[in-house]
Structure 1
Amino acid sequence: MLFNSWDALQHTLLVGTLGYIAVIFLMRISGKRTLSKWNSFDFIITIAFGSLLASLMLSKDTSLAQGVLAIGMLVLFQFIITWISVRSNIFQGWVKAEPTLLLFQGEFQHHAMRHQRVTEGEVLAALRTNGLAEIEQAEAVILETDGSFSVIKKLKDSSASALLDVKGYPKQQTA
């Protein structure tokens, strides 16, 4: 169907605009954490936001109040989950993955790479992106909880305290 009615277009225009404004308002008041780099939990919430906004814009069976309430509920759930996460390491472990060591002192950590489904080429690209031409110039490459790569350049007499929460990093070397 190419066109169903002017009424349907008017509904989409009006409810879509108001729904969009409501989403922006709710995202703004919910704080920076709602819009931070994504981990799997954030990704799911963002997809749900999009789905709710699409339903609100295109379905005459969904009222503006229902759509805004549903989006508000997701914002509230996101706030509650993150609030609990920063206060409980156990709960945070359920919701958020831990960073993973992929390269350590010039050697690929193949087991971790297979587990995280990362190729050597992706690790090498991360090194190049950070201006390193040799893997030996890197102390570590870490797959972060949001899917990005962190590259730590070769350390000189450092405690490497920023690596303490990285899965696979030898903790005894930081003492």
Structure 2
Amino acid sequence: MPLRRDPDGALSVISGEPLGRSHLAAVIVALYSVTVFAALAGSFGAYFPAPQRPVTPPVGYRRTMFFDKLADLGRIGLIGVLTYVLLIAVLRVSGKRTLAKMNAFDLVVTVALGSTLATILLSTDVSFTEGAAALILLIALQFAATWLSVRWSPLREALKSAPTLLLRDGELLIDAMRRQRVTDNEIFQAVRSQGIGDLATVAAVVLETDGTFSVIPAQQAGGRTALRDVDAAHPRGASTPDSA
């Protein structure tokens, strides 16, 4: 139904009949319906995208699970040599303490170094410069943390947990075992691994900060000066090395 605008501003059909309010309302409703339908169609298209045709690889392209490109092997060899030399040089500068697994913090740093090294070797998205910067950053943070922990006790207490006494003079400390989630069988195993068959001959079993067990026989306990940093390490009524 063709429309035209009259000189007075009113819409009318070309046939000369004026466009009534009902016709105008029908036109508005039709336009609104088209708009809503288009919006709904776009929403459904976002949630249910049309299936895409598979991309056909170029002629001569072939990828296998055992070998892809010779250039990738060359990259791994070159980056591996450079990263190995860099890692050895940085570790020599930072000292032996960098890779010492004395507590959980040291273990995290060691694992992070291994993960970073693997990413540098195998990921083509990481350049050698970026990987080298990550390695140097981790080792520098480890060096700074250990250097400050030796000189500042609050940081040392934050980074390292205190060793826990689990057995004293042949008696299991149940509360300490529960806090550390250690079973009596694990303590028995640690004692047996030292060739000891009687708990009465054991002065102390300590859970160290790196997660290992230290078993101290009674005949080798002496003045127990090595247990000064372990709470409740001294038998009841005995004086501590500091108070003796």
Q: Does 1:58 align with 2:122?
A: yes
Structure 1 window deviating more from structure 2 (124-133 vs 81-90): it is 124-133
Q: Structure 1 residue 52: deviation in Å? A: 1.0
Q: Structure 1 residue 48: deviation in Å? A: 1.1
Q: Distance in 1 between matches of 2:192 and 2:101?
A: 22
Alignment of 1:92-111 (within 5 A): 92-111=156-175
Could you state the TM-score of these two structures normalised by the residue count of structure 2?
Answer: 0.66
Contact 1:140 1:153 in 2 (8 A): yes
Structure 1 unaligned regions, length at least 5: none
Match of 1:23 in 2: 87
Asked which structure has the greater CA Rg, the reply is 2
Alignment of 1:4-83 (within 5 A): 4-83=68-147
Deviations 1:31-71 (A, max 9, x none): 11112124111111111111111111012222212211211
Identity %: 42
* 1:120 paired residue among 184, 193, 203: 184
Contact 2:201 2:219 in 1 (8 A): no
Q: Distance in 1 between matches of 2:228 and 2:102?
A: 22
* 2:228 paired residue among 156, 164, 169: 164
Q: Distance in 2 between matches of 1:157 and 1:103?
A: 13
Report the structure, 1 or 2, having the larger helix content. 1
Structure 1 window deviating more from structure 2 (138-147 vs 113-122): it is 113-122
RMSD of aligned Cα (Å): 1.9
Could you state the TM-score of these two structures normalised by the residue count of structure 1?
Answer: 0.91
Deviations 1:57-109 (A, max 9, x none): 01222221221121111111001000110111111110001100000011111
Partner AA of 1:79 in structure 2: F
Structure 1 window deviating more from structure 2 (44-53 vs 95-104): it is 44-53
Partner AA of 2:84 in structure 1: Y
Contact 2:224 2:234 in 1 (8 A): no
Q: Distance in 1 between matches of 2:81 and 2:124?
A: 14
Structure 2 unaligned regions, length at least 5: 1-63
Q: Distance in 2 between matches of 1:40 and 1:95?
A: 8
